[in-house]
């Protein structure tokens, strides 16, 4: 995986995009400049796993002009916290004359390569894309200073992490129909049964992370086989 990711980062297309971003991102002075430059806008959205919003320019402008420190602001009312992460990372100033000085270009490009690599892998193996995105997101979540329940709510609202936990625990589609609080209790209960603890902090251990994601991948492969018209034959073959 490391070799593949390195090769991907050194590919002509990725190096071309990265160079354009490095050369031009510092020239962006406000949100309108960002949205107006399709190449830079695409890199930023991809870096935060929001590339599907490339046409939702008005929505993204509302996100980026929200105050991330105001709990009642627009960005804080959205359940998907990737928008909040993007808003905090870009940190546009209140005064347009200040320019976009706080941008960490290397960090954005690093996230862009990670996300675009995962998406590229996901074209043939969507479950691997979910794992690549989920592992990094879980690592960031474990290191955050929010309460344990807040971390669980983040997992519930995250597409990648929710898919991993639900898949690893064999939760059916009906799980999403439960109230959020009931989903929280169920995830904690299943985690306690699997690992012996019900807190998110335990996933700072590589062993705990591997156990969770391996279980998701194993169950995903079983479900995939079961959906095949040859599943009965496959089951018999595996028995020998």
Quote the pLDDT of residue 94: 53
**Six-digit token pair at 180?**
């959020």
Residue 169 near residue 218, CB atoms below 8 Å: no
CA 116 to chain centre: 12
From first to last of the 240 residues of the chain, give the pLDDT tens digit.
Answer: 778 888 888 899 999 999 999 999 888 888 888 899 999 999 999 999 899 999 999 999 999 988 888 889 999 898 888 898 898 888 775 544 555 556 788 889 999 998 898 888 877 888 888 888 898 889 989 988 889 999 999 999 888 899 999 999 988 778 888 888 999 999 999 999 888 899 999 999 888 899 899 999 888 876 554 444 444 444 444 433
Tokens of 212: 């969770």
Can you give the pLDDT at residue 42? 95
What integer pLDDT is reported at residue 236 of this predicted model? Answer: 41
Task: Give residue 165's pLDDT.
Answer: 93
pLDDT digits (tens, 9 = 90+) for 35-58: 999 999 999 999 998 999 999 999
pTM assigned to the model? 0.70
Q: How far is CA 238 from the centre of its chain?
A: 34
- pLDDT score, position 235: 44
Separation CA 192–CA 120 (nearest Å): 34
Backbone phi, psi, residue 101, to 5°: -90, -20
Q: pLDDT of 165-183, one tens digit each?
A: 999 998 877 888 888 899 9
pLDDT score recorded for residue 29 = 80
Query: Residue 58 region, left (φ>0) first, then alpha (ψ -120 to 50), else beta?
Result: alpha
Kindly state the helix (H) or strand (E) to which residue 142 belongs, with its residue range.
helix 126-143
Q: Give every CB contact of residue 208 below 8 A, 6+ residues apart in sequence.
A: 195, 202
Is 170 in a helix, a strand, or coil?
coil
């Amino acid at each position: 995986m490391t070799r593949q990711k390195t090769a991907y980062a050194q590919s002509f297309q990725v190096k071309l995009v990265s160079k354009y971003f490095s050369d031009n991102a510092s020239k962006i002075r406000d949100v309108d400049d960002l949205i107006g430059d399709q190449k830079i806008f695409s890199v930023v959205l991809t870096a935060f796993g929001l590339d599907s919003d490339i046409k939702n320019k008005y929505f993204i402008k509302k996100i980026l002009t929200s105050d991330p420190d105001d709990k009642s602001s627009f960005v804080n009312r959205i359940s998907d916290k990737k928008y909040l992460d993007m808003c905090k990372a870009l940190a546009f100033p209140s005064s347009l004359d200040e320019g976009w000085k706080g941008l960490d270009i290397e960090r954005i490009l690093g996230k862009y390569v990670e996300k675009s690599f995962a998406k590229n892998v996901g074209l043939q193996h969507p479950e691997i894309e979910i794992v690549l995105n989920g592992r990094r997101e879980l690592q960031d979540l474990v290191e955050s200073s929010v309460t344990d329940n807040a971390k669980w709510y983040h997992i519930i609202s995250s597409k990648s992490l929710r898919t991993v936990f639900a898949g690893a625990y064999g939760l059916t589609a009906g799980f999403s129909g439960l109230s959020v609080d009931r989903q929280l209790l169920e995830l904690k209960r299943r985690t306690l049964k699997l690992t012996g603890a019900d807190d998110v902090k335990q996933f700072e251990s590589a062993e705990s992370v591997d156990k969770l994601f391996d279980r998701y991948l194993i169950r995903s492969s079983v479900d995939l086989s079961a959906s095949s018209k040859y599943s009965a034959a496959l089951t018999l073959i595996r028995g020998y």
